[in-house]
Amino acid sequence: MDPSFTSVDSLQAVRVRRSELRESMAALEQALAAPAPGRTAAWAERVHVALVELSADLRAHLELTEGPDGLHGEVVTTAPRLVGAVQRLRSQHLDISASADELMDLLTPPLADTVVDDARESGMTLLGRLVRHRQAGADLVYEAYQSDVGGQD
């Protein structure tokens, strides 16, 4: 478990992505919490914009972690005992992507009468999965490299 197997640049990239993802999560949370009565279309548009940003950050996260030179490959090389944790994180990516797709589908016009309640429920499910995933990712990096990528971005 020699920390020299991963570069300082890799861990810095993880920190930057975590920060960007946290910011887009906050934007989605704010959009979901905004008042909707009498302005459902404007509310849905704001949530949609926040979700598009979050989706872009998720794609960047996937590239950083699962890409050809991704962090997960480095972790498995450095600490093979963590292969199960890496597999769980990869599986979570599927659940998170499915939650984001579900929310995007709810926001596609024409909007149903229940769009606000349904989108809020779907969005909170997505955010909950992301919070748990970020924590599991931080724990993985710490276990592999004994380096804290930061809980407060």
Could you give the domains of the chain?
3-145 (1.20.120)
* Its pTM surpasses 0.75: yes
pLDDT in tens, the chain (153 residues): 344 445 677 788 888 999 999 999 999 999 999 999 999 999 999 999 999 999 999 999 999 999 888 999 999 998 999 999 999 999 999 999 999 999 999 999 999 989 999 999 999 999 999 999 999 999 999 999 886 666 554
Per-residue model confidence (pLDDT) at position 153: 45
Q: Residue 97 and residue 25: Cα distance in Å, rounded?
A: 14
Do 65 and 71 contact (CB within 8 A), yes or no? Answer: yes
Per-residue model confidence (pLDDT) at position 1: 38
Q: Residue 35 and residue 73: Cα distance in Å, rounded?
A: 43
- Retrieve residue 59's tokens: 């794609």
Q: Residue 143 and residue 141: Cα distance in Å, rounded?
A: 5
Give the tens place of pLDDT for each residue, 95-139.
Answer: 999 999 999 999 999 999 899 999 999 999 999 999 999 999 999
